Amino acid sequence: MSNFTDFKSNKPDAPTAASQVRLMGFDVDGTLTDGGLYFGPEGETLKRFSVFDGQGLRLLMDYGVKVVWITARSSQIVEKRARDLGIYQLVQGCKTKLEAYDSIRQSLGLEWNQCGFFGDDWPDYPVLKEVALACTTPSAPLAMRKVATWINTRPAGDGAARELCDFILSNKPDYQNPWETQ
């Protein structure tokens, strides 16, 4: 018997939530990257990002969904990648992701049912409880998977974010995939 409340019962199903998403937040380590920290010879931290995931994020942003990254760590590499992609807002060194996300949500005048988040560990849990489209990974702690309305199947940092972006776009009633119309 689980001692976790079933938060899914208060949320729409994943396709319905995806169809309403106007703000999509992402944790970085473990969702946009494989979660590993690689150290260079000078002690610098290195991260690997997928171009495939980046293209998915661009498609989502081109559709008009605001994309934000909220991460507990701080990294110049993350800042550069976010800038290269045109991410709406990057919050680094964040200890309370729910406060950061809620501030962004309110500044855009959005309700929680218009919001989604992709996270994989405990700092992400409070945000996942609030958003309509709560996304996590198969390797996330059980409580995170219980609150999730969508769980990816592709590896983190290697197609997981793209899979999510494609899922969101495929559930937008007016989205037309430019490659399917040719």
Average pLDDT over residues 11-38: 95
> Tell me, what's the pLDDT at 4?
42
pLDDT above 70 covers what percent of the chain? 92
Q: pLDDT digits over 59-93, tens only?
A: 999 999 999 999 999 999 999 999 999 999 999 99
Best CA proximity match to 139, nearest among 124, 126, 156 = 156
> Tell me, what's the pLDDT at 66?
98
Strand partners, 46: 38
> Tell me, what's the pLDDT at 40?
84
Q: pLDDT digits over 133-179, tens only?
A: 999 999 999 999 999 999 999 999 999 999 999 999 999 988 877 66
Strand partners, 135: 118, 150
Q: From CA 107, how far away is CA 103, in angstroms rounded? A: 6
- For the cut 90, the answer to whether the pLDDT of residue 10 exceeds it is no
Q: Model-level pTM?
A: 0.91
More confident residue, 175 or 181: 175
Q: Which domains does the chain have, with CATH numbers?
A: 20-170 (3.40.50.1000)
Q: From CA 31, how far away is CA 143, in angstroms rounded? A: 17
Q: Tell me which amino acid residue 75 is.
A: S
- For the cut 50, the answer to whether the pLDDT of residue 49 exceeds it is yes
> Tell me, what's the pLDDT at 8?
55
Average pLDDT over residues 30-39: 92
